[in-house]
């Protein structure tokens, strides 16, 4: 069975899903909508701009085997006609999963690129 979040996931070289027990969630935060405290804290810590009046996708990867530990987070914005990764972080114990490239591909796909 093939799982997909976006039509771009169906290309032959695209990753399908993260290995179990990892899971990913995506949340669209429209411009002018107040950010949740955890998103604001993430952006403050990792170089994003929580005060910017811009729309963004917030992605979070959880390890369901470890009480839903957060393995990675990222935000993607649309800037000057391009998708830009505003902030990204991966917990060191999950570095072998190559989560940054997975999140980059997913973030671009969510913006339709």
Count of structural domains within the chain:
1
Residues of the domain holding 76: 7-110
One pLDDT digit (tens) per residue for the chain, 113 residues: 234 455 555 455 655 567 668 888 899 999 988 999 999 999 999 988 888 889 999 999 998 887 778 999 999 999 889 999 999 999 999 888 888 988 998 999 899 88
Establish if 42 belongs to a structural domain. yes
With a CB cutoff of 8 Å and minimum separation 6, the contacts of 69 are: 62, 63, 91
In a domain, 39, yes or no: yes
CA distances (Å), 108 to each of 42, 69, 86, 93, in order? 20, 24, 12, 25
Residue 2 lies in a domain: no
Supply the pTM of this predicted model.
Answer: 0.81
In a domain? residue 21: yes
């Amino acid at each position: 069975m093939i799982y997909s979040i976006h039509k771009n996931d169906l290309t032959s070289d695209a990753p399908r899903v993260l290995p179990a027990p990892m899971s990913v969630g995506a949340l669209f935060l429209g411009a002018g909508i107040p950010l949740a405290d955890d998103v604001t804290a993430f952006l403050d810590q990792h170089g994003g701009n929580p005060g910017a009046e811009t729309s963004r996708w917030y992605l979070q990867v959880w390890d369901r085997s470890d009480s839903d530990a957060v393995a990675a987070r990222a935000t993607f914005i649309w800037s000057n006609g391009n998708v830009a990764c505003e902030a990204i972080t991966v917990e060191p114990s999950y570095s072998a999963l190559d989560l940054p490239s997975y999140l980059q591909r997913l973030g671009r796909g969510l913006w339709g690129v």
